Amino acid sequence: MDEAICWRAVVENDRRFDGLFFTCVKTTKIFCKPSCPAKTPKRENVLFVSDTETAMGKGFRACLRCKPTEITGVNEKTKIAVEACEYINANRRADLNELGKSLGLSSGHLQRVFKSVIGVSPRKYLEFIKLKRFKDGVSGGKEVLEAMYDAGFESTSRLYENANQKIGMTPGRYKEGGRNLVISYSITKCSLGNLLVAATSKGICAVKIGDSPEELSAELGREFVNAEIRVEGALIKHFVDAIVELIEGNEVGLELPIDVKATAFQMRVWDELRKIPFGETITYAELARRIGNEKSVRAVAAACAKNNVAVVVPCHRVIGSDGGLRGYRWGIERKQQLLENEKADIALERKLFT
């Protein structure tokens, strides 16, 4: 089973996955149901197994709190989605029509069930898995064409189309660890502190806010360790000016291009974030509903926290169900200031034009 999906279920305490896999915690030697209410362990300390016998055979004992050995059934819709994921992962040339037939479902029914559980359509998931196979192949030393065909891509055009959307660089460049990627960046002052904006030739790849210019540039270097990074304010001045305007609460009236790396789920969340109108907020629960998975509130919050382009992807516009601001990667005070700036601009506009 896809470990990324397993981990998301654990983070969300998603009881729909109970009985379909079990979580073994290496530090405590205990195994649990995905919905166990105990504190979420660190990811590096977790091993996933398909049944209780395997867990006990590896020396783990059952959790006394969630009682994983007492499960009597499984959620049928989730079971179908898991079986579909296993089919896609096991078949290099996965055919979604054949997948539906093998599960005894129409393509429309499979689409609805899969998306309600996984959060993306079967086709989007297949694209993500193929791209992951390709990335693993070239990282492991395969030539681009060999990795492409092994991953299930039928042509270089399909590969490059997916790579440009999901990797943020060409397959050849990815094979070289981004060594020839050129990133221009600039650091300027704004009302929130120091603002770093970085961009490739395709779009903005990083927007960071902090107290120290040195720490911001060092963080950029760690994230793009093999890229050629240049301080070139003039080349990206139009991006910097637009982002400063957004920070100060002025709607710029255009969608800035981004060039970021993300999982299929993260990209889905970020796409939805960019649809939130200027000056408005929604809750994490509402954001989860908008992407078609009401149970994915925690995973949605985690995707917001991974956002590397502050303000451009406006994760600051997502708040708790009680109206609380919750967390923000760049500091809760900055989140509050951003929202206040946007609301002030909307209020001024209404005063002037009504």
Domains, in order of start, for the chain: 3-70 (3.40.10.10), 76-175 (1.10.10.60), 182-244 (3.30.160.70), 264-353 (1.10.10.10)
Averaged pLDDT for residues 123-148: 75
Q: How far apart are CA 300 and CA 341, in angstroms?
A: 25
pLDDT digits (tens, 9 = 90+) for 2-39: 888 898 889 888 999 999 999 999 999 999 999 999 99
Instruction: Identify the active-site residue in 36, 63, 85, 315.
Output: 315
Instruction: Identify the active-site residue in 24, 32, 63, 304.
Output: 32
Q: How far is CA 17 from CA 8, 24, 324, in A?
A: 10, 15, 30
Average pLDDT, the chain: 84
Across 315-331, b (16+ Cβ under 10 Å) vs e yields bbbbbeeeeeebebbbe
pLDDT band at 352 (very low <50, low <70, confident <90, very high): very low
- 134 phi/psi in degrees, rounded to 5: -60, -45
Among this protein's residues, is 315 annotated catalytic?
yes
Name beta bridge partners: 30: 25, 61
Among this protein's residues, is 63 annotated catalytic?
no
pLDDT of 132 higher than 90? no
What is the model's pLDDT at position 156? 54
Q: How far is CA 283 from CA 249, 318, 322, in A?
A: 20, 5, 9
CA 125 remoteness from chain centre: 13
pLDDT band at 98 (very low <50, low <70, confident <90, very high): confident
pTM over 0.85: no
Averaged pLDDT for residues 240-266: 82
CA angle 285–288–289, rounded 5-degree value: 90
pLDDT of 163 higher than 60? no
Percent of the chain exceeding pLDDT 70 equals 86
Averaged pLDDT for residues 296-319: 93
